[in-house]
Structure 1
Amino acid sequence: MTFEEMVELAAQRKRDMPEGSGTAALLAAGPHAIGKKLVEEAAEAWMAARYESREALAGELSQVLYYVACMMASADLTLDEVYRTL
């Protein structure tokens, strides 16, 4: 899955809020809950980069990207809006 696909999936989960979806539950919990997970995964990525394998780092960074996508969906922020600031 690409980051773009992940962003779209998170936005779709916010629109549909399917029962049983972990992403929908996270979105319902709001930006504070998403932010806590984002910070946690960023710290784990940092530690993986310092002490673990490339595979572990890739896994942690994929989780960071997932929570970024969820935060974007929570705020109705588009990729274009983010890309304009790069």
Structure 2
Amino acid sequence: MANQFAIIVPQDFLGHMTVKSPCIGTCVLDPRSGFCIGCYRTGDEIGAWMGLSDGNKKRVIDKARKRKASMPKHANNRAAEAS
């Protein structure tokens, strides 16, 4: 019979292990780009967020940052105006 054990992790430690959502509360998908004007994620990425691993969440955040950087300056201003 295999030994069984449990690891008890304090709740505040678990908070440091998860990746925070990049959502800023400006949840509008731009019909031209298909990206949220607040966080630059796609609708699919937003919908899948809760089920993604931390590694996949980090990849989504990286893609969103690259999208934001590649958007024309006036598109980035729309997000600032909407929030």
Task: Give yes or no for TM over 0.5.
Answer: no
TM-score (norm 2): 0.37
TM-score (norm 1): 0.36
Larger radius of gyration between Structure 1 and Structure 2: 2
- Higher RCO by CA contacts (8 Å cutoff, separation 6 or greater): 1
| Between structures 1 and 2, the one with greater helix share | 1
